[in-house]
Structure 1
Amino acid sequence: MKRILFAVLGCGLLLASCERDGWDSAPSVAEETPAAFRLNYTAYDGDDTRSAALRTADYDRVEFRVIDASGAAVTNLKGLYDPSSSELRIEGLRDGEYRLLVLGIRGDEREDRATIRPIGHIDETWLSFPEDLGKPLDAEYFYSQTPFTVRVETGSSGIPSIEITGTETVQQRIVGRADFTFSYENPYVRTAEVSKRATLSGMRFRTGLTGSGSFVGESDELSLEVDLAAASGYLFLPSLETTALRGEIEIETRTYQGGRVRRLFGFELDRIEANRIGRVNTPVVHPDNASGTMFITQRAYDEGSHALILQDGESKEIYTDASQRRFNTAQPLQLSVTDAGELHARFYSPRPLSGVLVRARIPQVDSEYLDLAWFDSIPPFADFREILPQMQRPTLCRSESGRWVELPQLDVPALAGIEFKIESEDPYWSKLQGILHGWTIAFGLYGGDPDLPNGGPVGNWMGIRPVHCREVVAFFLNFTYMIDMPQHEVILRENQDRLYGNGGVEDKVTPETVLAQMRQPRSLIVGLVYPGHGVIGLGGGYVFGAYQTAWLNHYTNTYSCEIMFHELGHVMGYSHDSSFTYGPWAQELMNNFYVEHLGEMPIDSSTYLNTSKNPTLYP
């Protein structure tokens, strides 16, 4: 909250100018007319990252003093600082030549134990800090001294008028900043930092500022530790010229193999000057500088701003284009190298995957698989793209057998025939690895239009939306995992007398036949069924669809599962005369097994997607 006060002389807090005795005659026109001073400030000297244009002040506290020609503070003035307009208005002025002293503060000076005194003369100490402060400043402090003139003239009409010149006030910081910057040969070293601290010692600082803008006082010698991960720049009053800021920087980083590396670097900064940035740059010499393994920590992933697939709002032209959105359930994590030399990882999964090591065998480089990338975590429906280090510089990679392989800088043709291998100790990855017989899934509109509020129904279909596509991924990951579960085989064998084909109950189908049909490679184009005509599911050949309610409730509702398995029976070539549609396989065995064993499946809860609360569902 901005601490603003309309001050009358004698209050002595925020905006009062109060030391000199009041006028001994009646007020003039000038006294009754407020003088408005616009407050601006400049960037740090030499700050190339910011525009040189003036910035309007947005201070938390403002103090001012009006000084006459003798250097004394003028009293009986009223002042008000308006942060919305960055304007300071002063009433009570008379004819004369003056100087306006303004102290602006951004932040809370109480954290710095700062004292602001009601000076009576320009040479007195106005702002002061303890000698034993022993820490960087929390607030920024700005100062200006602006000459201005007040003139009252009476024209031929006998009516007096006032003229005030010099009302544009430009301030500069009375503090300097020490910035700690780092140069990294390998960007993944920076994003793998666990801690970055510096010990600061040796330097002594000024402790006060007079009304005239002169620095006074001397602090004790600084000795402290700062967290460079929390802040890279620290504020101080100007330093004494006879001292320097010196110390040691400690950087601790993780390695993708689970270890830690600690590095120490010394530094020295000659001085801190007002309104100027002193820079300490440290080239980070690190054993991982030559590493060619992409170490994608959570920080590195977040900074990459990588895309996601099948998200609400994704264009129907994209998610129904099989060349852009299609996956096999046995390979939900798709890996490739783009024509631009990027590692491309696309993940068809409602759940994240943690601790992922991507190994690659590059025939033109080495016969072994090399550690190409480590991901702390891959988020659901990730669409990760990032240039390979090997495209930018010579690198060093660890092979699967543990030896180090030197790679020259590569081009895209050198990666021809690359093969990938994925490793993870995440239990979820074990589940996904349990999908031995994958089905290939794409998404189709079948004439519907998801951009219309009612889905643009055509016949028995309406426009599938990304919210439904994500549930399609969840269901088919579970279904193709289920077909290789030992318990699933058991239930088929225990009920083999209830499995019959299109010829009716006498047309017996063996469990081995059913398993072979379920484990057969298949490709489906999945859509959303329009229930307006009484149809809630469609299936056969490459076609599969269910109505919205079934996609929402397949986790726990056996009727929704019955719809799914009824249509899967059609996909497997069975008619309504078989047990695989209106019979035990779909209506009793599979639907109940799916619900009862959900906790053992890859997508074991509806909470990963929370689809029922999604605003893009059809009403």
Structure 2
Amino acid sequence: MKKIILPFVLILFFSCKKDKISPIGPAPVTTVELKFDNDSNSSLMFKDGESMELLTSESRRYEIGKVLRVKAVNATTIEVANFAPVDIVDATILLTIEGQPKPIKLFKIGKIRAHAVQEIKYPFIEGDTKFLNSEDQEVDLAQYKTTGIPVNKVSFDFTGNTDLIKSLKLLAKLKWKIKYHDFDGNDDPNNNWKENIDAKDVRRFTGLIINLAYLFQSDATKTQFVAEPITDNNKVLLTTEQKEADFKKIIDMSTINCGVVVNVSGLGGGSTFGLANHVLRDYLTMDICSIAVHEIGHMIGYSHDSSMTYTTNNRGAVVATGNVYKDMLAKKQFPIKTSSYYKPTDL
């Protein structure tokens, strides 16, 4: 019996040795997903009762092309903020480091609620150091895990494939840098500035300025603007070249300080852009160009003698832009819509 069993055991033993387990390779690099969608993972900007100092803080100035803004707080910490009054989903944050040839996919945002803001550590500080760049090539950021990255060596952007993100990305054509401002610091009742702007004013303005920028990024707006008979401050018709230059001035406006007016519908000039509350309320349902574009006309140097502000014989800049604005409203093309605005009581 022993002679029979032993060969059988040896056969089993050698058979097992032949079944080798292949070594497991390294896990593929993936981009971590974060959410900023509730009070446990984010705070809200522009909340009712927020101080004037915070509402109008220079730290809240943002580029219109980066409504979803990420900025470095220090070498290890960044701030993520959504300056749109709507939720943004399925975005990817891109990090550009001086010396790196391509942007790096720092993290994905599953959802960031309207006007959310949150400070976080760079993902590589407390997590994996391997990331993908914009061409899905692996990049190791281990050298920054302990020290972080100097603030002046980084910049950020966002990308994504949703309709909202695609619309917001188009705003990068404009150079506008937006800040909300209290133009009545002395609370003078005799001027046309609202005393003590509030959070609701700013919330409304954040949506209006996005839709207004969307209007001006459109080729259709430029085409109608350039084709429209528009006169200068001497009531002389502008040439095509002059209108093209003026449209570029609008696109290239940099500092824009947004405020709220009373007694009048708008005030504008230089970097000042003031609108009344009825304009901030109505922009989602009505053409506001007769006021908003009128003030932009002042901001690029035109007076009431020019049809860049008031119309002449029912022609002028506000007519050309207003036609496109009404068409975009009818076709629901604007990034900010009544249906997606996060605080219906503002409307």
Q: 1:33: which partner in 2?
A: none
User: In structure 2, do the counterparts of structure 1 residues 393 and 377 end up closer, same or farther at CA, with 3 Å as the change threshold?
Assistant: closer
Equivalent in 331, 341, 345 of residue 609 of structure 1: 341
Asked if structure 2 preserves the Cα contact closer than 8 Å seen for 1:540 and 1:570, the reply is yes
Letter in 2 for 1:306: S
Q: Which string of whole-angstrom CA distances, capped at 9 and with x for unpartnered residues, describes residues 286-315 of structure 1?
A: x87x978442147xx547431122222221
After superposition, the C-alpha distances for 1:566-617 in whole angstroms (9 at most, x for unaligned) are 21111121111111111133553323431331222222x2344376734xx9
Aligned to 1:544: 273
Closer, same or farther in 2 for the Cα pair 1:397/1:464, shift >3 Å?
same
Q: What residue is the counterpart of 2:153 in the other structure?
A: 417
Number of equivalent positions: 311
Structure 2 residue 301 is matched with structure 1 residue 569: no
Mapping for residues 31-70 of structure 1, pairs under 5 Å: none
Q: Do residues 501 (structure 1) and 236 (structure 2) align? A: no
**Aligned residues of 1:293 and 1:389 also touching (Cα < 8 A):** no
Question: How far does residue 540 in structure 1 lie from its aligned partner after superposition?
Answer: 0.8
Aligned counterpart for 2:117 among listed residues 362, 383, 404: 383
Displacement after TM superposition at 1:549 (Å): 0.9
Q: 2-side partners of 1:587 and 1:399: how far apart?
A: 44
Q: Which runs of 5+ in 1 are unaligned?
A: 1-286, 450-454
Change beyond 3 A, Cα 1:371–1:502:
same
What is the match of residue 593 of structure 1? 324
Measured after TM superposition, the shift of residue 414 of structure 1 is 5.8
2:41 maps to 1:305:
yes
RMSD of equivalent CA atoms: 2.8
1:484 aligns with 2:217: yes
Alpha-carbon distance between aligned partners in 2 of 1:420 and 1:402, rounded to the nearest angstrom: 17
Identity %: 23
Question: Aligned partners of 2:147, 2:190: CA distance in 1, in Å?
Answer: 49
Give CA-to-partner distance per residue, 1:345-369, whole Å, 9 cap, x none. 11211222211122323347x5443
2:64 is the alignment partner of 1:329: yes
Q: Which amino acid aligns with 1:579?
A: S
Q: Is the 8 A contact 2:55 2:199 kept in 1?
A: yes
2:141 aligned residue (401, 407, 426): 407
The match for 2:256 is 524
Q: How far apart, in 2, do the equivalents of 1:331 and 1:402 lie?
A: 23
Deviations 1:244-285 (A, max 9, x none): xxxxxxxxxxxxxxxxxxxxxxxxxxxxxxxxxxxxxxxxxx
User: Is residue 443 from structure 1 mapped to residue 180 from structure 2 by the alignment?
Assistant: yes
Between structure 1 and structure 2, the one with the greater Rg is 1
Per the alignment, in what secondary structure is the counterpart of residue 217 of structure 2?
Answer: coil
Question: Residues 490-543 of structure 1: CA distance to partner in whole angstroms, max 9, x if unpaired?
Answer: 322442xx2111001x34243313322222233121111122xxx222111111
Which structure 2 residues correspond to residues 154-165 of structure 1 after superposition, within 5 A?
none
| Local SS of the residue matching 1:545 | strand
SS in 2 for 1:330: helix
Give the counterpart letter for 2:265 in structure 1: I
Q: Say if 2:30 is the partner of 1:296.
A: no
RCO higher in structure (CA 8 A, sep ≥6): 2
Alpha-carbon spacing, 1:530–1:297, altered in 2? closer, same or farther (3 Å)? closer
- Identify if the C-alpha distance between structure 1 residues 562 and 445 changes in structure 2 by more than 3 Å, giving closer, same or farther: same
Q: Cα 1:574–1:367, aligned 2, differ >3 Å: closer, same or farther? A: closer
**Aligned residues of 2:92 and 2:108 also touching (Cα < 8 A):** yes
**Equivalent residue letter for 2:218:** M
Moved over 6 A (4+): none
Normalised to the residue count of structure 2, the TM-score between the two structures is 0.79
TM-score (norm 1): 0.46
State the 1:484 CA deviation.
Answer: 2.7
Aligned counterpart, 2:5: none
Q: Deviations over 1:130-152 (max 9, x none)?
A: xxxxxxxxxxxxxxxxxxxxxxx
- Is the 1:441–1:524 Cα contact (8 Å) retained in structure 2? yes
Pick the structure with more helix per residue.
Answer: 2
Q: Secondary structure at the match of 1:419?
A: strand
Structure 1 residues 611, 296: closer, same or farther in 2, change over 3 A?
A: closer
2:146 aligned partner, one-letter code: L
Distance 1:458 1:448, change over 3 A: farther
Alignment of 1:395 with 2:129, yes or no, is yes
Distance in 2 between residues matched to 1:539 and 1:416, nearest whole Å: 34
**Residues in 2 aligned to 1:547 and 1:303: alpha-carbon distance in whole angstroms:** 32
| Partner Cα separation in structure 2 for residue 514 and residue 554 of structure 1 | 24
1:362 and 1:522 map into 2 onto residues whose CA distance is: 25
1:381-438 deviations in Å (ceiling 9; x for gaps): 1212211232236622233343433433331346751233422111111111112113
Gaps of 5+ in 2: 1-25
Partner Cα separation in structure 1 for residue 297 and residue 39 of structure 2: 46
